[in-house]
Structure 1
Amino acid sequence: MACKFYLYKGMGRKSENGHPWIYSNEIEGYDGEYINGDIVEVYNYRNDFIGKAYVNDASKIALRIMTRDINEEINEEFFRKRMKNAWEYRKKIIDTSSCRFVFGEADFLPGLIIDKYEDYYSVQSLALGIDKYKDIVIKILKEDYGAKGIYERSDVPVRELEGMEQHKGFLSEPFDTEIQITENGVKYYVDIENGQKTGFFLDQKENRKAIHKLCKDADVLDCFTHTGSFALNAGIAGAKSVLGIDISELAVKDATRNAELNGLSDRVKFECHNAFDVLHKWSKEGRKYDVVILDPPAFTKSRSTVTNATRGYKEINLRGIQMVKSGGYFITCSCSHFMNEELFKDTIWEAAKDSRKILRQVEFRTQAADHPILWNSDESYYLKFYIFQVV
């Protein structure tokens, strides 16, 4: 018999409405025995069934719901069905040559991330309950999706909140982890062993394509360029000149290689700078561009640091706006869930006021559709992306 967990009166309403997480302070008690990582049954205070979840009492998120069908078993067939559903969805809505194959809770596989780079897969396990099924996931990737190689990138601090160690390494026979992919007509070298996250930021795929129409014959500045993705898209779209800047010398080196790979070295250049320092300096010097792009890392990963992050976002947006020629375009984004849409909007508005510029919104976008936003789980919504004309 499965162990049964019961929630306090008044608790679990979000989970009853579809949210996959239940926190430890919502649990009144349980009947039976369990080991962390086990599948247990979850009930509200009225003894109504909510779902089957995996349990980890070492985590604040003590229960993560896998199914709301009391008769559904969590086994190989369950994972095969969930992964098939995720794949069929992506085949309809996005170019799947390289894409996010499984996006955790939004694909009803909480704690599991799978990114596909051509025929190679990067797997990230963020929770103990998913770790127990890793062998099944690997088997399915090989048997059903023709994986030539699988690499684990569970080297993320969030695992420590689950009482787990960070880990990375091969989940298949070893292979060359530098893979060449093509996205929006741009070629990249992707290092799935040592690159950021699982190797590449796939979530901006459609946003990168959206800048093409703005960049023909333009002088473009791309800040926080990382491996040069926005800069290279500007170059492919016919920009007159592109300068990408990043604080990481390794990122600048990788971006320069990507420019060479695409035959863009004559027009797309990269330099190592701290964006905060250099934007302040260049804006004072009166440097101007037709298009300025800001794609910073998340300045906040918790509610407690939102105030400081807001100051950082305002500063770079202020300087970025100041460096756009009149009638030019300003592209800005935030990948932090805690910098919510309204707060980000207000921060940009304050920056525009202080720079004495008027912004005309061209487009608002979010993360690519292979990173679906589950309305029952607002944590799945994190990327905000604006295109403005500066007038």
Structure 2
Amino acid sequence: MGTKLARDFIQSGTSNVTRQILTLNAGAEKRLRSGHHWLYANEVDTSKTPLAGIEAGSVADVQDARGRTLGSFMINPNALICGRLISRKAGRELTRSLLKNRLKQALAIREQCFENPCYRWVYGDSDGLSGLVVDRFDDILSVQVSTAGMEAHLPMILDLLQRLVQPKGIVLKNDGKMRAVEGLPSYVEVAVGEVPEQVALIENGVQFHAPLISGQKTGWFYDHRPNRALAAKWSAGKRVLDVFSYLGGWGITCAAQGAAEVICSDVSNSALSGVMENARLNGCDDRVSTIQGDAFDVLDQLNQERQRFDVVIVDPPAFIARRKDIAAGERAYQKLNEQAMKLVNYGGLLISASCSMHLQAQRLNDIIRSSARKLERHAVLLAEGGQGADHPVLPAVPETRYIKSLFTQVTPGL
């Protein structure tokens, strides 16, 4: 959505939101009453209240089969998740006041938790703004919208973001896979001011440069921040391998905080150029090197060379994007962790991370356990990590909890 359209929308102050009422099938309200925020299309009693014809991005009141109100929802009749909660009260809209209050509440939490203005300012449902992600890089914002409801209110959101923090620039990274599911176009666009190709950020006291416009997702991954801090603490004086490194979030943090040697591996040459730039930025480039290639091939190569590391970090992209990918994805995690564990010096640390929401934490534990048994290693779990405070978890919405990180000491088999 272009900046001119944003200005026109803001000046007009109008909205195309229409009020609808949807009735659920008997019993379909249980998950919503327990605290979940999403409504699925097969839960709607379409014989009473058809979804067909409802405009994507409009707002509807939802009620159970007995007519009891469940709340106000953003609706997209063309998506499996056809409703996303706005409020437990009926008759609520995504008004300017509501959006402003939730943006301010989310900002206050992050300002309380982080010393520097570098964090995920908005994390969708957890901040009452389903389908909206805002990452902050000091005075630059990266915004990602994944639902029709939020897309309809994007001009107003952009205006509020500007008023709340006065950024120099805002980029819309609206090229995520979920947009196609919602029937939305894919685009990347500078919506406000100027956005440089490289932006500066500070994480765990370490400086980084990240490419917002050409980079992955919103440009940076803040979600593993606490796990990177723990990895760095336990890597002082150690030899470290960071696989799927991207820009070196894990590896450079370890190097900057005292690791003796860090090797970062990624399939992308441009990402590895970013690794070395970030190493120079922190004055540790003499202890950082890179290997370009497919992660599984690189691990095989290092094993053939009989290389060993005190700390091996594997933080792959989501191997399980959908439920139907679970079996194949778990096999990939199994292979990855077996290869990585072979490279760990006895007494060393395997840090196995995952961003796959569909990979349960216990299954990752099982994968580490079975890898250790197959390789005749003794694996001891020292710590488990989750996502940072800028990715808060809604207990009733398990989909908001996706980050897992296991810190496992590996020794000879007993």
Tell me the TM-score range normalised by the shorter chain: over 0.9
Kindly indicate whether residue 350 of structure 2 is the aligned counterpart of residue 355 of structure 1: no
- The 1:83/1:327 distance shift into structure 2, 3 A limit, reads same
**Alpha-carbon distance between aligned partners in 2 of 1:26 and 1:289, rounded to the nearest angstrom:** 51
**Alpha-carbon distance between aligned partners in 2 of 1:373 and 1:346, rounded to the nearest angstrom:** 23
Kindly indicate whether residue 78 of structure 2 is the aligned counterpart of residue 61 of structure 1: no
Check whether the contact 1:90–1:96 (CA below 8 A) recurs between aligned residues.
Answer: no
**CA deviation map 1:138-196 (0-9, x unaligned):** 11111112222111011012111111111210111233232111212221111111111
Superposed, 1:1-391 pairs within 5 Å as: 2-28=19-45, 29-30=48-49, 34-70=54-90, 72-391=92-411
Matched position secondary structure for 2:367? helix
- Range moving further from structure 2, 281-290 or 121-130: 281-290
Q: Which amino acid aligns with 1:133?
A: H
Matched position secondary structure for 2:259? coil
Count of aligned pairs: 391
**Alpha-carbon distance between aligned partners in 2 of 1:95 and 1:167, rounded to the nearest angstrom:** 32
Q: Which amino acid aligns with 1:358?
A: H
Measure how far apart 1:96 and its partner are.
4.6
Structure 2: runs of 5+ lacking an equivalent: 1-17
Q: CA RMSD in A?
A: 1.6
Q: Which amino acid aligns with 2:269?
A: E
Check whether the contact 1:220–1:243 (CA below 8 A) recurs between aligned residues.
Answer: yes
Q: Give structure 1 regions of 4+ aligned residues with deviation exceeding 6 angstroms.
A: none
- Range moving further from structure 2, 339-348 or 85-94: 85-94
Matched position secondary structure for 2:135? strand
Check whether the contact 1:328–1:389 (CA below 8 A) recurs between aligned residues.
Answer: yes
- The 1:35/1:275 distance shift into structure 2, 3 A limit, reads closer
Matched position secondary structure for 1:171? strand
**Alpha-carbon distance between aligned partners in 2 of 1:36 and 1:246, rounded to the nearest angstrom:** 39
Structure 1 counterpart of 2:8:
none
Structure 1: runs of 5+ lacking an equivalent: none
Measure how far apart 1:272 and its partner are.
0.4
Check whether the contact 1:120–1:150 (CA below 8 A) recurs between aligned residues.
Answer: yes
- Sequence identity (%): 29
**CA deviation map 1:8-36 (0-9, x unaligned):** 11112111222111111111132898422
**Alpha-carbon distance between aligned partners in 1 of 2:298 and 2:193, rounded to the nearest angstrom:** 45
